[in-house]
Each structure stands twice: as structure tokens, then as C-alpha cells.
Amino acid sequence: MTLTHCPYCALQCAMHVEPAADGGYRTRPAAFPTNRGGLCRKGWTAGSLLGSPDRLTTPLLRTERGAPPRPVDWDTALDHVAGRLRALREERGADSVAVFGGGGLTNEKSYLLGKFARVALGTSQIDYNGRFCMSSAAAAGLRAFGVDRGLPFPVTDLAEADAVLLAGANVAETMPPLMGHLTGARLIVVDPRRSATAEHALAHDGMHLAPRPGTDLALALGLLHAARAEGLLDAGFLAERTTGFDAAWRHAAAWWPERAERVTGVAAADIRAAARLLGRAANGYVLTGRGTEQHAKGTDTVSAWINLALALGLPGRRGSGYGCLTGQGNGQGGREHGQKADQLPGYRRIDDPAARAHVAGVWGVPAETLPGPGRSAYELLDALGTGGGPAALLLLGSNPVVSAPDADRVRNRLAALDLLVVADSFMSETAEMADVVFPVTQWAEEDGTMTNLEGRVLRRRRACAPPTGVRGDLDVLHGLAVRLGRRAAEFPADPDRVLAELGAASAGGAADYSGVTPERLDSGEALHWPCPAGAPGAPRLFLDRFGHPDGRARFTAVEHRDAAEVPDDAYPLIATTGRVLAQYQSGAQTRRVPELAAAEPEAYVEVHPDTAARSGLTDGGWALVSSRRGSTRARVRYRADARLDTVFLPFHFAGDQRANLFTNPALDPVSRMPEFKACAVRLAADDG
């Protein structure tokens, strides 16, 4: 029996992995602060992935497009990839080769992948799917607090809350064990649909505010206006610990609740009641999630929620605060150590000369040889195979054929590459297109560290041996780097050695891991970053000062604007997407778990019966949900509590059931987050 952590969301629940009677493995919960001895349905069934008949166990090589891939040995596959990468770099330059990572990779993989791109390949073209996850909250948090950590306090602090506003977060389905920390609080759930979390709030003396998709920013401005009108602002906190309120208020002053009601559809009386509930709480929290981030104005929208929290004096004191609920398992650590286009390890900026000098010194290379910032995730994917874009892509831990917006366009870009290399445990929809597939280890077959949503660094422990023929991602990067002319010692495959180097590279940075060691983690010590060498971790940030040089938090002046695409006569409805309890992300794992596949086997569209009738749809029938980019096939589910102007689809399914066939790749100008959560669509019955 091995104590480790769940392979799914950023709550990173603790679990035991042990042999099962059928020869496979089973999971059961372990006591840990985040999950307190509980697991969700996905966690309970995670062990079945370890014995899945769908596992990849040998490298696959396709030498001709259109031909089926054939099994080869590891040396043949690695030699082929290294030779093609070397030839492309010599012919077209270093940026002809790109790297795409994932927010589920361990800290060690994230770090070594960023180093591999910049040192072994010399390319600036690296980003990761976390850009689709919480990049808007990261950008808003940085400009407000000077530090981006999802929760700047432990999850257990939420038990002290009297009121919690959840903006765009359906935690009852996306991270159910978190609900156990919210039982003492009245919840204000901001979500266009009556989610399971909204149902819970209404059943426990809370509130559900259902704004029109794309209008969260106007709602946040209306709540700030109402809070000031009710005399709820913390004047002492504003004067002593913040700056910029007056400029932010000049925008919010125009958003009295009745005006906000006209734009959002949320009743002015409910806006005032929600402001009173949150503002009068002895201990209140504002928590944001993907629903309020995944917009072309997501950074400004999160800033508006932070402004509300700051005005009420919530951040920076014990028992209250603002936080972002990170989505992917290592969504926090995955963006701290260099697989993001503009960052180096330790959450350093790649265009900062001092940061470049420090990291280059650890890597033993001249600082001037490090490339500068590259393209963001969608911009990178959209440039693949074009005249000015990369001709090769190495992809680890992601499935953009399902998860990227305007997914058919992305699929076409991948098909235009000279070389697509995918490392995965299963034949994902993206791996099916690859010229080379490397079979790699899963979560319970490897050691490493993860950083959960509260900035706690966790020890992921190997519980079982991988199938014969399977190697780790670190081994893949090591093998390729050596073949590309780097010394073996520069790219170690041992995760503890990588962690030690990561600590040196991150030392002195905002996300300092130099004090995080296997020995300290194995002892059970709780290590929240920043954790410099010789120092304890920092479970609670901002109690004395915020991360800006003057120690103050910054208000950001923001104004509501329409979504990038609004309904019209041709596309009269708004579509929004999200996750459901039984599936996770692109479904590459969960669709292979029989119990989860049986619970949610296909895509569906939630629609009000009256809206469905106008499009000739019947409950349980099939519909085509179409935008200007493409159409998705989904089973109709009537929801009498749905907004008449809005439909909802989960995004976990493949083929013609991909919700991202119709989503809009319009990007936030700051975070480069695509607008997954609002686009114009129409419905039609699908009898075929």
C-alpha cells in the first residue's frame, strides 16, 4: 500500500493505492487537510487506469502520412525524433521547433521541459495548456497582489467563513471534497446555470446569481457599487493597505444595481442582498474559477472580483480573503517553473535580465543564448505548419485536438506539421495524429512533486511498476537531449536530482522552492511556497504586507465590455461550456474508466424547454449546436431552470461531440486566455 495523491484536480486529495483482488489496483481515501479522508467519484476509480487495456506500451513510428504507425524500439524512435529535430533546426532555425506542455505534469517535468526547450532546442516556442486554465486569474493576481498563488491561505481556513462568493466555480462537481470546507458558510454562487453548487447554496440559505454569460464584470461592478452604498467598505483597510481605489471607483460608480440588472439579468434586489451578505460577514471570501476567467476580458473580470474583495477588506487577514480555485492537478506548479512562454523557473520573467542571468548560471549556459518570450498557447497552436510558424511540435501532457478552442482549426494546424511527437500513456485524439508516440508512465508509476491549489508542494510516490516498455517523461527528455548534443548530466532522469536543480534555479524568485527537499516532504512537513532553503513554508501570504514593493495591494480600474461575439439573428443563443462530475478535462483518462463512462457516456446540451421547442428539439433527442466555426453533436437535456438565452455543454468528449468545435479563440489581451465561456450559437435537430 502506498500513500500518494489523486491524478486529477488541484485539490490533490491524498489516497492509498493498493493491489486489488483482480490483479489490478484500487484507490481509497487517506486523511489529509484538503480532502479530510474523502474522495470524489473520479478519485475512487483512479486505480482502474493503472490496469487499463488501452495502455500504450511501445513506441510508435509513422514514416509516411496516412500510413498506420508501427511499433519500434526506443532507440529507433528517439533517434528518429532527434534526427528530424536537428535537421529542421539547421534548415529553418531554432524556432521551427515547438514544445507544448500541460498543467498535469509534475514540477520536475515542467522544469525540465522548459530547460529542454531553451537549452537543448534553443527555441522560444513553448507554452502549455495551463494557459487555458487560470492564466487570467494569474495575471489579475499579479497586478493586484504582486504574487500569483491560487489560494494564498490553506484550504482549511475556509471552515472559518461565514459567507463565500464563488464566481464561476462549480466545486460540487469539479472538486467535491472542497464542499466539506464550506459547510459553515452561506454561499453566493455566480453562475449562468443552476449548477450542483448553486443547488447546494439555495438549499442552505445561500444565493444563486445567474448572469448572462459574458457579463460577470458588470455584476462585480454592481456589487461594489451596492457595497459602497450600503456603507460596507473597510475604510481603514483601504487607507492602510491598498492603493488605487479612487480610479477603480470611478468606473464602478456608474454601475448602480439597476443598470447592472439590465446588462446581467440579475435582479437589483439580489445584487444588494448579495453585497450585504458578503459585506456583513465576520469572515468572508471571494473565490473565482474558470467560469469567470475564460473570456476575452477574463483578466479584467477577475480584477473586478478582486476589487470587490479588497474594498471589503477581505484579503490579507486570517479568516477572510480572495483566492482562485486552480483547475488542473499541477496548475499552480506547472506555470511556475518555465513551461510558460514568458517565464523561467521560480516564477521569473524571461525578459528580466537578472532572472536570465540567474537561471543561465544554474544551467551553465551564457544568458544571451536563452531565447526570449514566445507565442502563447493558442497563438502557438494556430501558427503550427504555417510559413512563419514551427514545423515540428513535441507535446507532453495535453490533448489539444479536444481541449483547444476552434478545435478543428487546431487539428488542421497539427496535420500541417512536418513532425508531431506525442508522449502519452494512452492513445489520445492528438496522439492518433502523431508521427511518433512515446509510451510514458502514469501518476502512480512515478515519483515527483506537485503543487496544489493552496501552494502546498506534495510528494507523489510511485505505487506500482509501469508496464514493460514504458518510460518516464524525464527519460524521454534525457534521451532526446543527449542525442541533440547535450551532456547527460544536464538532463537527469531522476526526479530528486531534477527537484534539487529546480530549487537552485528558483532560489530567490517569487516561487522559491530551494528549501523543498524529498527529506522534508517525506517527513510530513507542510511546505507552501515561497520556501527558501533553511526556512519554513508560507501557508498564509499577505498577513503583514502584499507582494508589491510598497507592501500595498493595487486596485485595477476596469470597465465592462461585451463578449467578443454576441448573439444575432443567425446565431441567437449564447453557449457556455464546463466540466461535470464524472469526467475530467479532455476525457483522455476518464472516458476509459468504465464506471465514469457509464455515468456520462456522451455529450449533451442543457437547454430550456421553450428554447428547445423553438428549434424543433425534443428531450433526449440529438441536436447540432453550431457557431461560425463549427458544429457539435449533443444529446438534448431539458432544464426548466436554464436561462432562455443560454445553452450549456460539457467539453470532455471527442469526435463530432467536441464542444470546442464551436468555441471562440478570441484572446484576452493580457493573459492570452481564449473565450471558452461565451459564443453565439444556433440549435437544430439532428436526425442523422
Q: Which three three-digit cell numbers place residue 104?
A: 498535469
Architecture in CATH for domain 135-325: 3-Layer(aba) Sandwich (3.40)
Whose grid coordinates read 515540428? Answer: 392
pLDDT for 23 equals: 85
Q: End-to-end CA distance of the chain, in Å?
A: 49
d(CA 51, CA 48): 6
Is it the case that residue 347 has pLDDT exceeding 80? Answer: yes
Between 387 and 81, name the one with better pLDDT.
81
Architecture in CATH for domain 60-132+330-493: 3-Layer(aba) Sandwich (3.40)
Is it the case that residue 484 has pLDDT exceeding 90? Answer: yes
Contact 594, 628 (CB under 8 A): no
C-alpha angle 662-663-664 in degrees, rounded to nearest 5: 120
Alpha-carbon distances, residue 597 vs 580, 581, 600, 648 (angstroms): 12, 11, 5, 20
pLDDT for 688 equals: 66
| CA dihedral for 462, 463, 468, 469, sign (positive or negative) | negative
> Which of 64-68, 275-279, 436-440, 578-582 is the least confident region?
64-68
C-alpha angle 419-425-427 in degrees, rounded to nearest 5: 60
pLDDT for 594 equals: 94
pLDDT for 471 equals: 98
d(CA 66, CA 544): 61
Contact 617, 607 (CB under 8 A): yes
Is it the case that residue 327 has pLDDT exceeding 90? Answer: no
Contact 398, 406 (CB under 8 A): no
How large is the angle between the packed helices 473-483 and 74-92, nearest 10 degrees?
50
3-state class (DSSP) for residue 43? helix
3-state class (DSSP) for residue 409? helix
Other CB atoms within 10 Å distance of the CB of residue 526 = 15
Alpha-carbon distances, residue 17 vs 5, 25, 93, 462, 507 (angstroms): 9, 7, 46, 9, 34
Q: How do the domains of the chain map onto residue ranges?
A: 2-51, 60-132+330-493, 135-325, 573-685
Alpha-carbon distances, residue 574 vs 83, 211, 302, 638, 663 (angstroms): 48, 12, 21, 16, 11
Task: Give the CATH class of 573-685.
Answer: mainly beta
pLDDT for 22 equals: 87
C-alpha angle 162-191-291 in degrees, rounded to nearest 5: 105
Q: Where are the alpha helices (DSSP H) in 491-554?
A: 495-506, 518-522
> Which strands, in side-by-side order, build the sheet including 2-5?
2-5, 14-19, 25-29
Name, in order, each residue with C-beta under 8 angstroms of 631's C-beta and a sequence gap of 6 or more: 624, 625, 656, 661, 662
pLDDT for 63 equals: 86
Confidence of residue 457 (pLDDT cuts 50, 70, 90): very high
Between 617 and 688, name the one with better pLDDT.
617
Instruction: Say if residue 353 is preceded by a cis peptide, omega within 30 of 0.
Output: no
Rounded average pLDDT over 517-535: 95
Contact 233, 252 (CB under 8 A): no
Confidence of residue 687 (pLDDT cuts 50, 70, 90): confident
- According to DSSP, residue 641 is labeled T
How large is the angle between the packed helices 216-229 and 298-311, nearest 10 degrees?
20
Contact 623, 615 (CB under 8 A): yes
d(CA 224, CA 271): 9
Confidence of residue 66 (pLDDT cuts 50, 70, 90): confident
2-51 is a CATH 2.20.25.90 domain = yes
Helix/strand/coil percentages in the chain, nearest 5: 35, 20, 45
CA dihedral 6, 10, 14, 16 (to 10 degrees): 0
Percent of the chain with pLDDT over 70: 100
pLDDT in tens, 226-240: 999 999 999 999 999
